[in-house]
Structure 1
């Protein structure tokens, strides 16, 4: 029998080989089938999509790496158990749990790398990705018009129909600008037009040539005007997003600074409310007091959202260790050489328990109804207890 330290190295090499192959395969499938297909359906050109892929791949790792860890350990340890290698190791006087060491090391390394990525690199890439998409909104509009000959979505404040697109020229366009209630405010028909995004003013400008514009369409003050040239500005619904970072786009240090600022602002607003109530102001009759109460509620909601994001990151990264415990135990226990059945046997219960618990913790944490520092770890705690119990059972056999 080989010395146990050499045996561990052999197991580690097997794990590493399967892990690398599995990670490349799973990530490639998600990128090609999910991201690229969705981007193409949304009208993005293929070259635009491939330019975004390097920014998208790191964001997938917090989900693909734990699943790949589970896949690697279930394959390697399931094969070893099926080939009676585990039995031979026990017969040589080596505890079966000793060969679990390489799997735990793999899970710990993956968890450490993910913890660094989710705390700094991935948030920066998320923000960069959104910035690129917003900067390319002009190209996206042209791509949609080339493909569908129209853009008509309720969430937008405008709609465009064209006969065809020649380069940047829109042939026989019909443009509709809607008001805040979604009613048609302006309808313009022209011989041709071009689109320009003005980021300084944060508007989409529709430059139209030789046409007719109708204001207050089908209203009591309907007006029709012919024009040779006309520029219609439309506010961009996503313009404000270029300045404000979402929690998932903020690094750990940025979240910590933002939380400190919010806590200070909450203390100030809370004191103002206390002073106003002490002076006898009634929220039912004081608009300013109601506004402060709503602002305080908004600040607390923002704090809960940031705290949930901050607590979610280490819990998600650490899931690699707990996935490894489950995969190792189930792989040895079921001793199947069929890697797919071993993986599915482990993964299905995790899908039905771990991820629902994670989503429950996220939703309750954002609502402020559950401390996210506990809620985010419910799934990991469950997997850890089950995995340790199974390993203990295997050790006693």
Structure 2
């Protein structure tokens, strides 16, 4: 609006920003929906009822994964297909607004020094035709080159901007150009012309609008082509930002799958109010994810990390957290990730399992204890025990099972008679 845009142009420019917004809000909305749906089921004890009916919570993965795939495809189309075209269209609108403002800012009978940022050129026109925008009686004082300043006088002129080639200049008619050097102020070079074109450097006229397409305005095919071109030119150090953007066009849609796993794992064990817990968890997860993405993008652009691990680290970390939560909810009755008591209960189990992995002693080499049956080592072979001993063992076991009320002495003697 400050650049003279009408309401229709503002609405059109805002619509071109929607793909970039939707590429972030679609995964967020999906995560919030998963947390709300399954968090409500958990708070209403419907998950407990499913467990009691013999239904595993992992069965709930089927609808979640199906919706995750559909949401990921939609996000990919919005971010990787619509996004570059919309960003390019938005850039064209900004370019047109800057051009329109540059033409409209020239005021007749006023010394205009803001045509080029920095005030290195002063423009004066006596009048401007309302129909064509043609300038009349043009005066220009050009000090862009301090070693050779110029003064240009012309009967007519106009500002021309080539959008396709991003060129900016002045078309002047019936004029003369005076140039001199400060070292010899008495010598002036005059150049008469009927028509003349005086170009401006694009970076001078549009300092905040780059000439080439940015990485977010390129499709995946164009990004791959740009990387190949830079490597062929020996500029491999300029490729990381294009490779990072290429991986982002796949990693951000894949986040829908990660959010599905993580949302299901977080909501199954939650016993808090579904709505408040869902909003809090979704905000926390989204914040963590996009902090990971932003840090990875900066690390990849600057070369601190390779583009692949820099972009995909967030998906790997949060995806692993989702799988772990699903596993814990499958093993436990209900694992609430926000309840510290579950973590304190897990620590003794972890220590017990770690200690049980020590060197085990074979039961064949273990020394016999009193009152237990002594079996020979397998290395001694079956000849150490007679067939009568095996028969006695079978008979003793049958006798004990049929006469449970026998005395301790009888059982001890039977056990001794079965010993090899």
Q: Does 1:236 align with 2:173?
A: no
Higher relative contact order (CA 8 A, sep 6+): 1
Q: 1:107 — aligned with what?
A: 68
Where does 1:306-385 land on structure 2 (aligned, <5 Å)? 306-332=242-268, 333-339=270-276, 341-351=277-287, 353-385=288-320
User: Which of 221, 226, 237 is the aligned partner of 1:258?
Assistant: 226
Of structures 1 and 2, the larger Rg is shown by 2
Shift of 1:376: 0.9
- Paired with 2:164 and 2:275, the residues of 1 have a C-alpha distance of 59
Q: 2:91 — aligned with what?
A: 130
Shift of 1:64: 1.4
Judged with a 3 Å threshold, the aligned counterparts in structure 2 of structure 1 residues 153 and 201 are, in CA distance, closer, same or farther, namely closer
- Paired with 2:304 and 2:27, the residues of 1 have a C-alpha distance of 28
Equivalent position SS for 1:197 = strand
Contact 1:81 1:336 in 2 (8 A): no
Contact 2:102 2:115 in 1 (8 A): no
Q: 1:291 — aligned with what?
A: none
Unaligned runs of 5+ in 2: 173-177, 189-195, 335-420
- Paired with 1:158 and 1:79, the residues of 2 have a C-alpha distance of 67
- Paired with 1:199 and 1:381, the residues of 2 have a C-alpha distance of 43
User: Which of 51, 57, 73 is the aligned partner of 2:34?
Assistant: 73
Contact 1:301 1:367 in 2 (8 A): no
Equivalent position SS for 1:377 = helix
Contact 1:126 1:249 in 2 (8 A): yes
- Paired with 2:106 and 2:7, the residues of 1 have a C-alpha distance of 16
- Paired with 1:92 and 1:144, the residues of 2 have a C-alpha distance of 76
Q: Does 1:96 align with 2:57?
A: yes
TM score, norm. by length of structure 1: 0.61
Judged with a 3 Å threshold, the aligned counterparts in structure 2 of structure 1 residues 59 and 234 are, in CA distance, closer, same or farther, namely same
Unaligned runs of 5+ in 1: 1-39, 209-213, 224-229, 267-295
Shift of 1:49: 1.5
Judged with a 3 Å threshold, the aligned counterparts in structure 2 of structure 1 residues 155 and 126 are, in CA distance, closer, same or farther, namely farther
TM score, norm. by length of structure 2: 0.58
Shift of 1:319: 0.9
Equivalent position SS for 2:318 = helix
Contact 1:74 1:330 in 2 (8 A): yes
Judged with a 3 Å threshold, the aligned counterparts in structure 2 of structure 1 residues 98 and 242 are, in CA distance, closer, same or farther, namely same
Cα RMSD of the aligned pairs, angstroms, is 4.9
Equivalent position SS for 1:376 = helix
Where does 1:202-217 land on structure 2 (aligned, <5 Å)? 202=166, 204=168
Structure 1 or 2: more helix by fraction:
1
Residues 89-138 of structure 1: per-residue CA shift (max 9 Å, x gap): 22322222322432222222121233344443322332233234324432
Where does 1:142-291 land on structure 2 (aligned, <5 Å)? 179=144, 196-199=160-163, 202=166, 204=168, 234-237=200-203, 238=206, 244-263=212-231, 265-266=232-233
Contact 1:144 1:150 in 2 (8 A): no
